[in-house]
Amino acid sequence: MLHVDQCITDMLHYFISTGERPIVDILQDRRYWVIHIITIPALFISGVVSVASGISFNLAGTPNWLAYLSSTTSLSLVNDRFSVAMYLFML
């Protein structure tokens, strides 16, 4: 009977367990915190620097946000909304 009980518990463990580490073990691991304490601020700082320097706008081919805001002095209104479909069709 012991063998059957062991087989049942092994089978349940097989179907329930995903084989991954529990989240508590991951959060208590020092290596997790060292990696994230370094990478998250580094990603934020690199994003701020790339936008502030304008390199991201040059790569995307769009005007810089300061030049874009200073060049638009009036609102552009759409008077004929159906002409947009014809313009896109001609592309």
pLDDT, tens digit, for every residue of 23-43? 788 788 888 888 889 999 999
pLDDT, residue 29, reads: 86
pLDDT range class, residue 46, cuts 50, 70, 90:
very high
Cα 50 from chain centre = 17
Q: What does each C-alpha distance from 69 to 51, 63, 72, 73, 77 come to in angstroms?
A: 15, 9, 6, 8, 17
pLDDT range class, residue 44, cuts 50, 70, 90:
very high
